[in-house]
Chain A
Amino acid sequence: MKPVNQKAWFLVLPVLVLVAISAVIPLMMVVNFSVQEKASNGQFFWMGTKWYETVLHDEKFWGALFRSLSFSAIILAIQIPLGIFIALNMPRKGWGVPASLILMSLPLLIPWYVVGMIWQMFGRVDIGLLGVMLKDFGYNYVGDPVDAWGTLILMDVWHWTSLVALLSYAGLVSIPDAYYQAARIDGASKWAVFRYIQLPKLGRVLTIAVLLRFMDSLMIFAEPFRVTGGDPAFLSIELEQKSEELGWASAMSIIFFLIILAISWVFYAVMTREDADVAKPESAS
């Protein structure tokens, strides 16, 4: 059991200071701006919740939020099963292991701006491989919003599926052989093996993956801005474009942040509750 030692706070102090400065102060600043308005003489004065009300009543805000959530839902629906499927089929032994791990990690290591740029070039109907191939089908992400969405989704899948696959792979390789052997002895079908042995082990890993991907997909700023130059209006882009109106932007930031905080709390609660289950073993009477 871990001993209690309040002096451990000294060890944690550097982290606390660093993160607090990076997080708390800016956050307070944003909250500050969100309840003030700049008058023409440069002075700030108290506005109360006016900005929040404005944002929450703004149709465009809800539209952008809805679009962001739909985008998240779509890519999660693609990336999670796809990532798991790839992980299930990745080699476990031999040279294929480091080769596939390295190659699959590549998209994750490219600066986000460059990812957007790659896909912008890739999808252009004049100079891009994808664009040229699909040109005859009427594909053009510049003018057509459906094509734009499709390209963004494809880009995100290309960029991030590897994260899900690698996390799932880590979960899968930690399953000892004995489980598979016992399943053979029990006469279990491949589906039963997946459902009762692999999926439960993946559960914890997937929660992390879903959380990370959900957060990131709500706030991808660089990539869609690059690919389509600001269209369709995603939530993050609204923020950028309205930054002159500090109060409005700040209120929206806070609302945005609270949504994310609420969702992470839910995920975290689910994750730690599962851990608590395992930590307290009971013996049979």
Chain B
Amino acid sequence: MARIDLDRIRHAYGPNPKSEADFALRLVNQAFDDGGAYALLGPSGCGKTSLLNIISGLVTPSQGRVRFNGDDVTNLPTEKRNIAQVFQFPVIYDSMTVRENLAFPLRNRGVKQAEANQRVDEVLGMIGLSGIAGRKARGLTADVKQKISLGRGLVRSDVNAILFDEPLTVIDPQMKWQLRAQLRELHKRFGYTMVYVTHDQTEALTFASKVVVMYEGEIVQIGAPEELFERPSHTFVGYFIGSPGMNVIPTTLDGASMRLGAYSAPLPVAPRLRGKPKLEMGVRPEYVRIGAQGIPATITRVEDAGRFRIVRAMVQGHSITAISPEGDELSADPHITFDPKGVHLYADSWRVDLTVEAAS
């Protein structure tokens, strides 16, 4: 397994990129620890698949270097990088049996039959397919086929990293969580470096120890799932993670408080900002309280989500979503307050760090 370093990677698909908009990847400067389980999360077109392909070598970056354990592999072709990749739909060799599928990479590298068989048996055990080793790969279900694809990657003992490109896309919903659990299990037991691309936040948050959120060709935040939820570094992260996403409202600064019309939200310290950035207040629906005090609001819709209710309201011309525990009375004249724990200031979409140490 290897530590992967992405050193100032920039990539454009067209031949002559003129502006930032031509770049699929604007600037990625990131290290993936040996043995870490990472998820690359983001909407379509954010660059996550491009990044994955740069790691695997299917794409050579326009700028920057890729290093495995310190060795520069930027110009090394895929087959020499010793990575395994699982694609969106199962890629297996229909005409071979399960066993032959798994043995294929080993045979191509000249590994002797006996040794190959031993290794294949090991991997079959790991992914739970020992029972069907002799079956033709053709008629099997999608989840089994994906496991075979995975197995083909695991079978090489010198694998540097396992890369997943939205691998659960064609899997039935009831099998999805099972497969995810098995992947986590594999990671815990064997400590592979795994990088998992997805646009589904549930998949990312349940699979990875560190989630890499990408937006428009850049990494906007890396962290454990809890960090991303509580302290989104970018308004996009706040919006993308959590369901419903974070409320983002334009605001103005008044010393050490944010103002929303007549309402004032105090900040721990007065922020020092350069220039005149666009200021926004970010607060998750979980931290929006409805009660008798605060800013007057008009409730436009209430959705019952079982154990809680999603309340959509208009406050001074902005729409705000709040989460209200079930059983709470909603008064006829509702007012909104924000729990200061969950309020963040964003300048040009990036979060302003307001800890006391940072300000001094």
Contact = CB atoms under 8 A, between A and B. Distances in A.
Contacts of B129: 284
B138 to A, nearest CB: 6
Interface residues of A, number: 23
Contacts of B94: 200
A187 interface: yes
Interface residues of B, number: 35
A4 interface: no
A187 B108 contact: yes
A186 interface: yes
A196 B84 contact: no
A197 B92 CA distance: 9
B95 A284 contact: no
B95 A196 contact: yes
B87 A283 contact: no
A211 to B, nearest CB: 21
Contacts of A284: 128-129, 131-132, 140-141, 144
Contacts of A192: 108
Interface in A194-246: 196-197, 200
A185 interface: yes
Contact of B96 (A178, A179, A182, A196): A196
B264 to A, nearest CB: 55
Contacts of B87: 178, 181-182
A136 interface: no
A278 B138 contact: yes
Contacts of B105: 185-187
Nearest to B109: A187
Q: Identify the 9 closest CB pairs spanning chains A and B, nearest first.
A: A187-B108, A178-B87, A283-B141, A182-B91, A186-B105, A196-B93, A284-B132, A281-B141, A284-B144
Interface of A: 176, 178-179, 181-182, 184-189, 192, 196-197, 200, 277-278, 280-285
Given A184-B58, A186-B105, A187-B79, 20 more contacts: A178-B88, A184-B78, A185-B56, A185-B85, A185-B105, A186-B108, A187-B105, A187-B108, A188-B108, A192-B108, A196-B95, A200-B94, A200-B95, A277-B138, A277-B139, A281-B139, A284-B140, A284-B141, A284-B144, A285-B132
Interface of B: 56, 58, 77-79, 83-85, 87-89, 91, 93-96, 104-105, 108-109, 128-129, 131-132, 135, 138-144, 149, 152-153
9 contacts: A178-B87, A184-B79, A186-B105, A186-B152, A200-B93, A277-B139, A281-B139, A285-B131, A285-B132
